[in-house]
Protein backbone atom coordinates (compact mmCIF):
# COMPACT_ATOMS: atom_id res chain seq x y z
CA UNK A 1 0.00 0.00 0.00
CA UNK A 2 1.51 3.33 -0.99
CA UNK A 3 0.81 6.68 0.61
CA UNK A 4 -1.30 7.82 -2.35
CA UNK A 5 -4.04 5.32 -1.50
CA UNK A 6 -3.88 4.80 2.27
CA UNK A 7 -6.63 2.62 3.70
CA UNK A 8 -8.29 2.96 7.10
CA UNK A 9 -9.15 0.12 9.49
CA UNK A 10 -12.64 -0.12 7.98
CA UNK A 11 -11.28 -0.66 4.46
CA UNK A 12 -12.10 2.81 3.15
CA UNK A 13 -9.98 5.79 2.19
CA UNK A 14 -7.97 7.22 5.09
CA UNK A 15 -9.49 10.50 6.30
CA UNK A 16 -7.62 13.44 7.79
CA UNK A 17 -7.00 13.18 11.52
CA UNK A 18 -6.03 16.70 12.54
CA UNK A 19 -4.56 19.94 11.27
CA UNK A 20 -4.68 22.10 14.40
CA UNK A 21 -2.13 21.07 15.50
CA UNK A 22 -0.92 19.31 12.35
CA UNK A 23 -0.45 15.64 13.15
CA UNK A 24 0.93 12.53 11.53
CA UNK A 25 4.35 10.98 11.16
CA UNK A 26 4.77 13.08 8.01
CA UNK A 27 2.97 16.11 9.54
CA UNK A 28 0.42 15.95 6.74
CA UNK A 29 -2.68 15.82 8.95
CA UNK A 30 -3.16 12.09 8.28
CA UNK A 31 -2.06 8.95 10.11
CA UNK A 32 -0.03 7.83 7.10
CA UNK A 33 2.87 5.53 7.79
CA UNK A 34 5.88 3.94 6.14
CA UNK A 35 8.74 1.64 7.04
CA UNK A 36 10.56 4.70 8.49
CA UNK A 37 7.75 5.16 11.05
CA UNK A 38 9.15 2.91 13.76
CA UNK A 39 6.44 4.08 16.18
CA UNK A 40 3.52 3.12 13.92
CA UNK A 41 1.78 6.52 14.39
CA UNK A 42 -1.44 5.18 12.92
CA UNK A 43 -4.30 5.62 15.40
CA UNK A 44 -6.26 8.86 15.19
CA UNK A 45 -7.30 9.73 18.73
CA UNK A 46 -9.01 12.58 20.53
CA UNK A 47 -6.88 13.61 23.48
CA UNK A 48 -8.30 13.60 27.01
CA UNK A 49 -6.79 14.98 30.19
CA UNK A 50 -6.73 11.46 31.65
CA UNK A 51 -4.86 10.02 28.67
CA UNK A 52 -2.37 12.90 28.57
CA UNK A 53 -1.62 12.33 32.28
CA UNK A 54 -1.33 8.57 31.70
CA UNK A 55 1.03 9.04 28.76
CA UNK A 56 3.22 11.52 30.69
CA UNK A 57 3.40 9.13 33.66
CA UNK A 58 4.56 6.40 31.27
CA UNK A 59 7.39 8.41 29.74
CA UNK A 60 5.71 10.11 26.78
CA UNK A 61 4.88 13.72 27.65
CA UNK A 62 2.52 14.89 24.91
CA UNK A 63 1.26 17.99 26.72
CA UNK A 64 4.46 20.02 27.12
CA UNK A 65 5.34 22.19 24.11
CA UNK A 66 8.71 21.50 22.49
CA UNK A 67 9.18 24.38 20.03
CA UNK A 68 12.62 23.13 19.01
CA UNK A 69 10.82 20.18 17.37
CA UNK A 70 7.85 22.23 16.14
CA UNK A 71 5.62 20.51 18.71
CA UNK A 72 2.98 22.75 20.31
CA UNK A 73 2.00 20.37 23.10
CA UNK A 74 -1.42 18.73 23.11
CA UNK A 75 -4.52 19.51 25.13
CA UNK A 76 -7.83 17.71 25.64
CA UNK A 77 -9.87 17.70 22.44
CA UNK A 78 -6.86 17.76 20.10
CA UNK A 79 -6.79 15.04 17.46
CA UNK A 80 -3.47 13.26 17.10
CA UNK A 81 -1.93 10.26 15.32
CA UNK A 82 -0.87 8.12 18.23
CA UNK A 83 1.57 5.24 18.23
CA UNK A 84 -0.37 2.00 18.10
CA UNK A 85 1.69 0.45 20.93
CA UNK A 86 0.97 3.45 23.21
CA UNK A 87 -2.76 3.14 22.50
CA UNK A 88 -2.60 -0.58 23.25
CA UNK A 89 -0.76 0.11 26.51
CA UNK A 90 -3.41 2.66 27.50
CA UNK A 91 -6.18 0.26 26.46
CA UNK A 92 -4.80 -2.47 28.70
CA UNK A 93 -4.70 0.04 31.59
CA UNK A 94 -8.27 1.19 30.94
CA UNK A 95 -7.07 4.64 29.82
CA UNK A 96 -7.36 4.47 26.01
CA UNK A 97 -8.55 7.66 24.32
CA UNK A 98 -11.40 7.69 21.81
CA UNK A 99 -10.57 6.78 18.22
CA UNK A 100 -11.64 8.04 14.78
CA UNK A 101 -11.79 4.82 12.77
CA UNK A 102 -12.06 6.55 9.39
CA UNK A 103 -8.75 8.32 10.11
CA UNK A 104 -6.93 5.31 11.66
CA UNK A 105 -4.55 3.59 9.24
CA UNK A 106 -4.99 -0.13 8.61
CA UNK A 107 -1.39 -0.75 9.77
CA UNK A 108 -2.61 -0.09 13.33
CA UNK A 109 -4.09 -3.58 13.12
CA UNK A 110 -0.53 -4.97 13.16
CA UNK A 111 -0.59 -4.12 16.89
CA UNK A 112 -4.18 -3.56 18.06
CA UNK A 113 -7.42 -5.46 17.53
CA UNK A 114 -10.24 -3.92 15.50
CA UNK A 115 -12.92 -4.85 18.07
CA UNK A 116 -10.95 -2.90 20.71
CA UNK A 117 -10.77 0.14 18.42
CA UNK A 118 -14.47 -0.13 17.62
CA UNK A 119 -15.34 -0.06 21.33
CA UNK A 120 -13.52 3.29 21.56
CA UNK A 121 -14.77 4.74 18.26
CA UNK A 122 -16.30 8.21 18.11
CA UNK A 123 -17.37 7.90 14.48
CA UNK A 124 -19.70 4.90 14.82
CA UNK A 125 -22.02 6.21 17.53
The residue extents of the domains of the chain are 1-125
Q: At what angle do helices 49-57 and 84-92 cross, to 10 degrees?
A: 100
Distance between CA atoms of 4 and 111, rounded to whole angstroms? 23
1-125: which CATH architecture? 2-Layer Sandwich (3.30)
Q: What are the Cα distances from residue 54, in Å, to 58, 88, 96?
A: 6, 13, 9
pTM, whole model, 2 decimals?
Answer: 0.93
Helix (H, G, I), strand (E, B) or coil at 44: strand
Mean pLDDT of the 37-42 span: 95
Percent of the chain scored above 70 by pLDDT? 96
Mean pLDDT of the 29-44 span: 96
Bridge partners for 41 per DSSP:
83
> What H or E segment, with its residue span, contains residue 43?
strand 41-46
Distance between CA atoms of 18 and 25, rounded to whole angstroms? 12
Amino acid sequence: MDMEDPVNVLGGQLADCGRDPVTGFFRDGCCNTSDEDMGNHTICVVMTADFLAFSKAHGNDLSTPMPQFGFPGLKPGDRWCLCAARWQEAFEAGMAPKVRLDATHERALDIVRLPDLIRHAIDLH
